[in-house]
Chain A
Amino acid sequence: MTARQALRALLAGIAVWAAPPAGAAPAPGGTLRAVEQRRELRWGADVFGGAPYVFQDPMDPNHLVGFEVELADALARRLGARARPVAGAWDKLLDLLARGDFDVALNGIEVAEEKRRVCLLSRPYYAAGERLSVRRGDPSAPRTLEAVRGRRVGTLPGSLAQRILERAGAVVVTYDGGQDQIYDDLRLGRTDAVLLDDPIAHYYADVQPELETVPGSFGEVRYAVAVRLGDEPLRDAIDEALAELARTGQLRALYRRWGIWNAGTAALLGEPYAARPALSEAWEAWRAAVGRPPSLRERLLVRYPRTFGLFARAAGLTLLLTLSSMALAMAVGALLAAARRYGAAPVRWLAVGAIELIRGTPLLVQLIMIYFGLPELGVKLDPFVAGWLGLGLNYAAAEAENYRAGLESVPVGQGEVATTLGLSRLQALRHVIAPQAIRISVPPMTNDVIALLKDSSLVSLVTLTELTKTYSNLAASMRDHLGLGLVVAAWYLLLGLPLARLGRLAERRLGRHLRRAAA
C-alpha cells in the first residue's frame, strides 16, 4: 500500500466514525419519542463527590445512590422507561446535554434566567437554602454575610452561592474537584468558610465534628431538570411526572428518607412543614461510612476488594484507549515524518505546520475542540472516538518528531548504496533505513506509551470513566484519597510496567547486531 492509499484509507476510516452514533441524535419525533421507543431515559450527572445527589455508595462503590438517582428512577418509571445515568463533569453538563450525550441533565441544576438560553428547565423539584459552614470553635470565623468581606470562602463554580459571595465581597475560592475537597480545605485552614447548598452542607460539614454550620440561610436556590432546547414535549412530560410525584407525596418521602426535607421545598410543593426530621437513615449510613476513617483491616479486606470491578473495567478502557491511540499516533506520525523528510516543499511545510500546531497546543484544548467544538460544524463524535482521535493525533506529533530523529540518524550513504544496488526509494526505506531508524525511535516511543497511558486520564472530559476518573470518584465518595491513591497507582503500574518491558525487549531485539554475543 502506498503512503497515499494509506492516507486515503485513514481519512475514510475517520469519516465513517465521524458519522453521528446511532441514538444520540434527536429522533424525528423529538427526544420524548426516542425515550419512549428505547424505554430508557439517559440522564446526565456528575458522580464526583456528589452526596447526597448522585454518588457511589461508600460501602459498595459499585452502586450509584443519591436522592437524584431515586428521583431519576421515579421520573423514568412515569415515562415508561428505565433510568440510565451518564457521567459528566458538573460544569459541562449543559454542554453535554446540547451535544446529545443524554436526554436530560439532572444534578442540582439551579434555576437561573441565563440558563434558559441554552436549555429548557422543568418546574423546580427542590429548594435549598445556602448554608455557611465554618471551623468549630474558630473565634474569627465569619458567621454573617457582612463578615465574609475579604475572607477566603470556598464554593462550587457557577453556583448561586458564588454570586452571593462575590456580591458580599468575599475572596471566592472555587473548585473543579468534589465537594469533599471544599470542606477539607476549610478543615485544614486553607479557607475561612464554605457557602453551599443545604444538602451539601448537611452531608459534608455536619458529619465532621471539626466543622459547624451557622444557623439560617443566606439565599435560596431551586433545582430543575434541564432538557434540550426544542424538546418541549419531553419537558412537559417531566413537569407532569414531577407534579404527580409531588401530589402523591413520593417526593416528600424521598427527601425525608435522605434527611433533606426543608421549609423551602415544602413551600415549593405546597405541603406543610414542621421541622427537619431528626434523623434519616440515609444520612446516618453516610456518616457511618465517611465520618470516621475505616481501619486498615477493613479497607484492605472489605472496601478495596469491592473497588476491583470498577477499577478493572476502567483499566480495560484505559488500556484499550492507550493502545489504540498509540497505534493511530504511530501511523499518522510515520506519515508526517515521511512527508517532512521526503515530501516536496509544500508537503513538507504542511507536515511541519501540522506538527507544530499539534505539539504547541495543550491536549486539553484539543479534546475540548474535538468533543464540543466539532459538533458546531456538524461532526459529532462518539466519546471513545473523540478521546481516541484527540490522544492519537496529539501523540502523532511527538511520534513524527521521534521518527524523523530516527530517519536522520541513518547515514545518507546507506540510502545511496541501496540506490546503486537498484533498490527503489520505498524499498530502501523499508529494508535499509526504517529498520535502523526504528531502533533509535523505540526508547522514546516506550516513553510516549507510558506518558499516553497517564494522559488518557484527560478523556474523563468526554464522559469516559477511565482509571483516574474512577479513582477520583471513589476517593470522593469513600473519602479515602491516600489509600485509594495507592490502589490506583498499582493499577497504573500493572498496565505500564508490561508496556515498558515490551519496549525494552523490542530495543534489545532491534539492537542485537550491536551485541558481541550475536557475532
Chain B
Amino acid sequence: MIRVGALVKRYAAAAEPALRGVSFEVASGRLVAVLGRSGAGKSTLLRCLVGLERFDEGTIEVDGVTVRAGDGPRGLRTLHGRVGLVPQSLDLFPHLSALDNCTLAPRVVKGERRAEAEARAAGLLGRLGLAAEQGAYPEHLSGGQRQRVAIARALTMEPRVLLYDEPTSSLDPSLRDEVRRTLLTVKESGVTQLVSTHDWEFARSAAEWVLVLEGGAIVREGEPGQVVG
C-alpha cells in the first residue's frame, strides 16, 4: 500500500517546484500507471518514493512506514529495500552476471549465504523467462532481457512496492506486450506496482488505474478506459 500526502518537491536550481502537492493512494497488489509528458514530474515522484530524493512538504507512507518532509538520510533509508526501482536506464551492474546482479544485495545487505541467494535469484530469473541467461553478462543480453534482469534484481530484496521508470521507452514497440506480460507475472506475487510512462497506449493496456500528472500535480485519475482516450 502506498499513501502519498501533499507531496512538494523543489529543486534548488529551478524556479517552479517539480511536485506541487501530490496526493494519491494505491492499494496493495495493484498495478497503477502514472501518466504524463516528460517534465511532468514523474521521475521526481518515483525518486521521492524510492528514497533517493528528500522532499520539502508532505508525507510518504509505504506499508506502515512513514517518511516526512525534512527527514534526513536515516528516514529515507527506511524506504530502501522496501520500495524497489527499475530505472529507465536499467543500470545493471555490468561487471556482474545476471545471476550475480540478483544475488549482490541479498548477500551484502541481508547477509544471505551464496547458495541460498542464488537459488532464490535463479527462481526469479526462471519465472521471468531468463533461466538460460543466468550466467550472461548484461553486455550480452537483449534490451528486453536486461529489463527483466533489472526487475528480478529489484525483486530479490522482496520489496512491497516496485516502481518502473518509463519501462517501454527504451524498447522496441513490439516488445510492449512482453513488458505487459512481465508486469502481470510480477503482479501474481502480490507486489504493488507503479509504472511511470508517457505511453497512453501502454497505460491503457496494462494498468488497472491511471494517475495523470501535469506540471507537478495530479490532474485526473481513474480506470484506464475513463481517463485515457
Contacts and interface: CB of A to CB of B under 8 A. Distances in A.
Q: Do A and B bind each other?
A: yes
Interface of B: 50-52, 80-81, 83-85, 87, 89, 91, 93-97, 104-105, 108-110, 135-140, 153-154, 157
Contacts of A275: none
Contacts of B91: 411, 413-414, 416-417
Interface stretch (A69-77, A85-93, A218-226, A432-440): A432-440
A519 B89 CA distance: 22
A419 B52 contact: yes
Contact of B109 (A416, A427, A432, A514): A427
B153 A411 contact: no
Contacts of A423: 104-105, 108-109
Contact of B94 (A416, A419, A420, A513): A513
A418 B87 CA distance: 12
Nearest to B80: A422
Contacts of B81: 420-422
Q: Which 6 A-B pairs have the closest CB atoms?
A: A422-B81, A421-B105, A413-B91, A513-B137, A519-B140, A422-B109
A15 interface: no
B95 A420 contact: no
B157 A422 contact: yes
B108 A427 contact: yes
A95 to B, nearest CB: 51
Contacts of A435: 95
Interface string A399-423: 0000000000001011011111111
Interface in A267-301: none
Report the contact-size class of chain A (Cβ under 8 Å from the partner).
Answer: 20 to 34
A513 B50 contact: no
Contacts of B138: 513
Contact of A514 (B104, B139, B154): B139
A469 B81 CA distance: 60
Given A431-B104, A432-B104, A514-B94, 11 more contacts: A419-B52, A419-B80, A420-B52, A420-B80, A420-B83, A421-B80, A421-B105, A421-B154, A422-B110, A423-B104, A427-B109
A513 B94 CA distance: 7
Nearest to B77: A422
A463 B136 CA distance: 55
13 contacts: A414-B93, A416-B87, A417-B91, A419-B52, A420-B50, A422-B157, A423-B104, A423-B109, A436-B94, A439-B95, A513-B97, A513-B137, A516-B140
B95 A422 contact: no
Contacts of A516: 140
A365 interface: no
A345 to B, nearest CB: 16
Interface of A: 411, 413-414, 416-423, 427, 431-432, 435-436, 439, 510, 513-514, 516, 518-519
A421 B157 contact: yes
Nearest to B140: A519
Contacts of B157: 421-422
B38 to A, nearest CB: 17
A439 B216 CA distance: 41
B63 to A, nearest CB: 16
A422 B105 contact: yes
Scoring B94, B109, B140, B157 by chain A CB atoms within 10 A of each residue's CB, the highest score goes to: B94
A432 to B, nearest CB: 6
A419 B50 CA distance: 9
Nearest to B51: A420
A421 B153 contact: yes
Contact of A413 (B87, B108, B136, B137): B87
B79 to A, nearest CB: 8
A439 B137 CA distance: 16
Given A420-B50, A422-B157, A413 B89 contact: yes
A413 B135 CA distance: 23
A419 B139 CA distance: 22
B87 A417 contact: yes
Contact of B95 (A413, A421, A436): A436
A439 B95 CA distance: 10
A490 to B, nearest CB: 38
B84 A519 contact: no
Contacts of A422: 80-81, 105, 109-110, 157
B141 to A, nearest CB: 9
Contacts of B87: 413, 416-417
Nearest to B109: A422
Contacts of A421: 80-81, 84, 104-105, 109, 153-154, 157
Nearest to A410: B94
Given A417-B87, A435-B95, A519 B108 contact: no
A411 B105 contact: no
B40 to A, nearest CB: 21
Nearest to A519: B140
A508 to B, nearest CB: 13
A411 B95 CA distance: 13
B47 to A, nearest CB: 8
B52 A416 contact: yes
B139 A431 contact: no
Nearest to A516: B140
Contacts of A420: 50-52, 80-81, 83-85, 154
Nearest to B52: A416
Scoring B93, B138, B157 by chain A CB atoms within 10 A of each residue's CB, the highest score goes to: B93
B57 to A, nearest CB: 23
A396 B166 CA distance: 43
Nearest to B153: A421
A389 to B, nearest CB: 34
Nearest to A432: B93
Contacts of A416: 52, 87, 91
Nearest to A518: B137
B202 to A, nearest CB: 22
A430 B52 CA distance: 20
Contacts of B140: 516, 518-519
A419 B47 CA distance: 12
